[in-house]
Structure 1
């Protein structure tokens, strides 16, 4: 494994993409202070998660991400066979995650989102712009995996109940929360000199302003979702996480979401997807790979 070894020899494209995916998950987990989410301060609104568990889960997914990228390279095209292969690998990755975490769902949504993006990037590494990768991922997500289990996840049940767009639909539309809000805000905050950690926090908040986060809906219903969206907008309107006013709003949002038991896990998964696409789009896909 090369994810944490900067002295490793040149790696394959599949290994490089797996490294980038794991790094994105770890960077998302470490980012602080995230409202009601696990970070370096503590467990947020969760009782069954902690930072070490998030790290272990991310590392356990490296083989699955590598296998997805390899399957894409071998297939060379978007078709049903590749979609079903990636689905099978994703389910195997989920079992590896659950074995590592003792049955706790740490990254189920992230396996779907980052797995599709890793596959899409591997299909055409010469076309690594965020829009192009997201579009290929969407084309893959639109194909029906005939072998996927039929019971609805919590997120899918909530999406149906509230008419929200779940993780499946977000991917099928080309990750608009990432390409339309997360990545643009990341670049704006960087350009404003806010620093990388604040830029990433602002990207998370931008995603939260418009996302019907099914994790929040499941835990806290529409009041929790409205609190998340309004609170995230207040932080950005106050100058973002790099400003004193923005930080005060961020602290208030954290307290409010914890009181509501509302953890924006869907937004966190999409932040990881944002960080992955950002690295791929800035040439990270081929750096050190053969």
Structure 2
């Protein structure tokens, strides 16, 4: 008798969901080269942080991702998720002496973990359709209201000033860039036979090419954002990380990003989210 998928692959526990989030953030950190971003050996465009800062943050956030998955499983209201995220941000800042390493990931991956927890409580594994439906049905109205709030954060203020789609607006739309660009890009790269590193690098560039990355807009204005998007499109069009000089080309772009003080933090958070879903299978 054929074993059903549900029996062969049970829904993940909150602990498994949270562990996948922590590991996915490490996947993003360990990827190198990444233009303007912190890696295990490079500060990118950030004078105030390095890999040690990120690792302290990761350790401080481990329990958060489990807890918010548990809240999702309990069908908690958005206010409970938001309070959990605010507390996690405080722990991050305490661990990093006030440096923002993972504020965007706390928001994005936290919501995704909550959605996965909600699905798992019903015996379902996280899928693109399931996660998007859960975000919209359970917390969509609250996320839409949140997206209308004036932002106190530099990236949100840059998005408002320049007419860009903010991180809050992405969440209210159930993360279209993640699910319509990053996840397909990672799967396509894997299907072409690329190893994990080059596949993730192609995913990062595919995301950079289309995302209204508020961190880029804050650091470099609209011109900086468009420069980064153009570089990403050109990188992918030239063959991406799979071509013989792909890694060297990415490293050369890194020098240009540092010279312009650019860092695609929103794309990095989206890559981590794609790695999270990939780890949960």
TM-score normalised to the size of structure 2?
A: 0.88
1:227/1:257 contact within 8 Å kept: no
Matches within 5 A, 1:65-84: 65-75=65-75, 82-84=77-79
| Partner residue, 1:54 | 54
Moved more, 62-71 or 210-219: 62-71
Alignment of 1:66-105 (within 5 A): 66-75=66-75, 82-105=77-100
Q: Deviations over 1:61-119 (max 9, x none)?
A: 122111111112223xxxxx520000000000000000000000000010000000000
1:143 aligned residue:
142
Cα contact 1:34–1:254 (8 A) shared by 2: yes
User: Conserved in 1, the CA contact under 8 Å of 2:151 and 2:157?
Assistant: no
Name the residue aligned to 1:132.
130
Output the CA distance in 2 between the equivalents of 1:257 and 1:123.
39
- Secondary structure in structure 1 of the residue aligned to 2:242: coil
TM-score after normalising by structure 1: 0.86
CA deviation digits over 1:1-52, x for unaligned, max 9? xxxxxxxxxxx81111110111111111111111110012310000011012
Contact 1:113 1:273 in 2 (8 A): yes
Aligned to 1:241: 241
Unmatched 5+ residue regions in structure 1? Answer: 1-11, 76-80, 283-290
Kindly indicate whether residue 227 of structure 2 is the aligned counterpart of residue 227 of structure 1: yes
What stretches of structure 1 move > 3 A for 4+ residues in a row? 245-249
Please show how residues 26-65 of structure 1 align to structure 2 within 5 Å.
26-65=26-65
| Cα gap change, 1:151 to 1:216, in 2 (>3 Å) | closer
Structure 1 or 2: larger helix share?
2
2:192 aligned residue = 192
The unaligned stretches of length 5 or more in structure 2 are: 1-11
* Separation in structure 1 between the aligned mates of residue 151 and residue 157 of structure 2, nearest angstrom: 9
The question of whether the paired residues in 1 share the 8 Å contact of 2:135 and 2:174 is answered with yes
CA deviation profile, 1:217-245 (whole Å, cap 9, x unmatched) = 10011121111111111111111112134
Partner of 1:285: none
